[in-house]
Structure 1
């Protein structure tokens, strides 16, 4: 359908039905959104939970309050307060549990459009991509989609617990509360609560996996497909192991008292932010990149992720798991110049690694740089190890466990698709970053709509300008049909599910869809060396608390 035909079709739809009003009554409140000139309507900053302040600080999300007067929903809401963020950051607030919806203006409550629910990343310590503009995604879906985005609590606000009075994992509970909101209200915006795809990037991708494995894989009917982009596997402490974080946090805020929790709730957000920084994990020498993380509480998170997945304790829905080719370059310190420094960085992230295990890792990840002792000569060696333990191997393992279940069920289980984003931007390559962490998000949103500037080569006229429409074709096809192939862009490769290669099953073997420079697409098998390295990480995953 051409752009002109699309506009004419939209105009006919608008004249045939009554469009969703800008004002939507949710029962507890009514919100007035903004009809945009592009034929979409957005509602920004609707409360899906009560403000988590005062006595509700560190509490599970509560129902939003009733509002008698219509609420304006036309301005982007403030993001949640992040760890190590300035106390003067005027883009964040403790009052942050808001949800945004964008939908075609022609949609009605009877439209029952597919819904994409996006969870942003930020290492569970920040909201890294609040208020994304979903225009490009909805356009790529031929206006057959409703997109939902949320803020959720991070840092100590979302992941502090004391093992008694503070319920663990409130940041994840915020996300579940928002998914429940979608079930209750998305039809009023034209969405179908029976067709929700949950997706996320980095910590958002990890969140997707936590929701898949929550409560031993209990399906609450909150979503029906899942996309985990560059999902991050960090060390998961038990509630008891994380107690030191509460003790340290309360002490540095002057709350070493018999009623430390009341003291913490009495502090201002500014006072908390002044002391909101990371400290080392148990057994580590220095603070990890991200300290405040989900914990093993045997309630929401009932087991280590590798074991939960390996034992089949996950929700059985169609899935996509994948990563970028060089996901570690933005995290590994660029000045890493010795093998000892490389090992120390890994040990600070995963403090249960033993000297013998680090020795095995050093053999598996030889240094590709022969310029030592120059500054940073071990950067890429460390980057290679970190990207595989944190992102790439977990994604391949997730694909594998879904595929194994499907093979046992003789292809009756839901399929899983694997991808590798390897669209090389010349500038990023020249900087030594390769294809860095989460860069595929810029293409999925669309370079013209991405909040962060996309690589120059992704923009019109660049060598990778086709990257966005190509990946959008697969992604929105999955969002609409739970199959990335049905509406994929013309001329792109068939994306076969991960699993055995056979004409009967349509499986692609242990192969990923690789997005290459210029937006080429092809199915490529995973090489034996990577399989061997990933098998090592899987074998030691639980003892590393993954």
Structure 2
């Protein structure tokens, strides 16, 4: 098995398409370090009173239309509005700018193979060699070259990940997914989007896609990132037929924050899809417990204090007009997922009484969820990447105080003690799982990694499936691949190599988008999830048995204990 760093680098050759020559000049430029593809021709679609001029990859026989604006330039701290009717010639041959990224800071003490492993995931999987800009609400469409307005192909709508802090659509090779769909005889159209971590204009930084606090509630600007995604889905309903897609056959698909977003769209409006999608795919993300918008008040107060806007009578207006460099400096000081607090992040989706009317767990229990078929999966070692900074924790008391301070502030001492009984300090019980005493950054790091992975990833997936698979079709998977990656094992985001590289998961997803069933001839049979006998498709490193069906019953009691604490998270 190759180590993760060169494997991810190699995978990016497959994941990222070369930027084509701009149509007017014929000049070429490399994108994401991939050799420029020479076999490129223009492709044109008419939208309203405009010609959208994209590119055709003659080698893969895929048309791509990149960087199409789907929203009007946003007025600061207002919800997005659908782009007005298009006019003139719009060159869509290059990805639109990415939303400015939260600065990721690998701790200074991390070096050697640990730093390499972390950087391989963070810097390479979410690498964006495209400009960053405030004006970033764009989408990309890839279709088989033969598709025309009346082709009516199924559509997959992809929401990228990055823990609501980093990432962009340019990192994901939709053309590769489309090309493979044609090879399988299951052609689809692929749409990917950029969405706000923050508000557009000069304030497009992390908090303002998911700003919290009383001020945000009063201004009606909660969950703007989710509002962006929903608007882009409406764009698909309005325009996708022009590209050969069927707006009644849309599947939403996401990874990490994108997968969490997918689950929240299933819960939005009390489970009313508004006809925007008919299926869902979630890689490493689900209905994670989110608090009330007012629970984020301390983060908002800290932000305005650091910028001096606490001295203003209207702090939101003050933030609006701060110089970009001052705002970015303030944002980069707020916690990121490589910080000591791990997954306890300040700027996340929250219950606002409108888009999310109640906690995800409560809505699931009440059945207020879109009744659509879905796929939900995890990697085995979800928490390893987010726990490396806990190396100085030594004792049970240290762990309990850490959980109380960052992760479970509302839990009682008794609840924390009960939780820790399910997650012993023995290295062999921790994450990366099944690696014995190896991969221990610190005495309690593997233990914290197990808890965080289960709280934020494995638990929500299992909860979703357990409650919904009794009434709707569902499938589960677990990826155990890249287990020998130093320190972090089968870490968060490693399954992207399977869904966007040359992997089996891509084929299953393509078939699901077409048929609302992932199984197909020549593939390992993937049984539907049955809460009475829960089984999942397992992707593993074994070259003789790379895919198998296994019982989805690992850490059952621990995950039930985690579920009981879901309402006590930060």
Give the root-mean-square deviation of aligned CA atoms.
Answer: 2.7
1:90 CA drift (Å): 7.1
Q: Summarize the alignment of residues 199-214 of structure 1 with structure 2, pairs less than 5 Å apart.
A: 199-214=253-268
Aligned to 2:560: 535
Aligned partner of 1:493 in structure 2 is 524
Indicate whether 1:222 and 2:279 are aligned. no
- Secondary structure of the corresponding residue to residue 196 of structure 1: strand
| Compared CA separation, residues 344 and 107, structure 1 to 2 (3 A) | farther
Q: How does 1:21-420 map to 2 (within 5 A)?
A: 22-27=43-48, 29-37=50-58, 38-52=60-74, 56-66=75-85, 68-84=87-103, 91-127=131-167, 130-142=170-182, 144-154=187-197, 155-161=206-212, 162=215, 163-231=217-285, 234=288, 236-255=290-309, 256-277=311-332, 279=334, 289-333=344-388, 335-339=391-395, 340-347=397-404, 348-369=406-427, 376-404=442-470, 406=471, 414-420=472-478
Kindly tell me: are residues 368 and 102 of structure 1, through their superposed partners in 2, closer, same or farther at Cα, counting changes over 3 Å? same
Matches within 5 A, 1:475-494: 475-485=509-519, 487=520, 490=522, 492-494=523-525
Q: Which runs of 5+ in 1 are unaligned?
A: 1-19, 407-413, 448-467, 502-508
1:244-290 CA-to-partner distances (Å, cap 9, x unmatched) read 33333223222231122222222233321111146579xxx968552
Deviation string 1:350-384 (CA, Å, 9 cap, x unpaired) is: 32233222211211011232879x86122211111
Task: Give the whole-Å Cα distance in 2 for the aligned partners of 1:298 and 1:353.
Answer: 24
Q: Which residue of 2 aligns with 1:474?
A: 508
Distance 1:333 1:85 in 2: 14
Say if 1:330 and 1:345 are closer, same or farther in 2 by CA, change over 3 A. Answer: farther
Paired with 1:299 and 1:254, the residues of 2 have a C-alpha distance of 31
Q: Distance in 2 between matches of 1:267 and 1:445?
A: 39
TM-score (norm 2): 0.78
- Corresponding residue number in structure 2 for 1:6: none
Q: Which SS does the other structure have where 1:249 is aligned?
A: helix
SS of 2:294's equivalent? coil
Aligned residue for 2:352, secondary structure, equals: coil
Equivalent pair of 1:337/1:375 in contact (CA under 8 Å): no
Q: After superposition, what is the alpha-carbon deviation per residue over 1:419-470, rounded to whole angstroms, capped at 9, x for unaligned?
A: 11112354x1xx13221112111221115xxxxxxxxxxxxxxxxxxxx1x2
Alignment of 1:514 with 2:538, yes or no, is yes
Question: Aligned pair in 2 of structure 1 residues 316, 288: CA closer, same or farther (>3 Å)?
Answer: closer
352 and 107 in structure 1: CA distance in 2 versus 1, 3 angstrom threshold? same
Alpha-carbon contact 2:47-2:86 (below 8 Å) kept: no
Which structure 1 residue ranges, 4+ long, deviate > 3 Å from structure 2? Answer: 65-68, 128-131, 232-235, 277-281, 285-289, 339-347
Q: Determine helix, strand or coil for the equivalent of 1:242.
A: helix
Contact 1:318 1:415 survives alignment (8 Å):
yes
Q: Which runs of 5+ in 2 are unaligned?
A: 1-40, 106-128, 198-205, 429-436
In the alignment, is the contact (CA less than 8 A) between 2:248 and 2:278 conserved in 1? yes
| Aligned twin of 1:423 | 481
Tell me the matched-pair count: 476
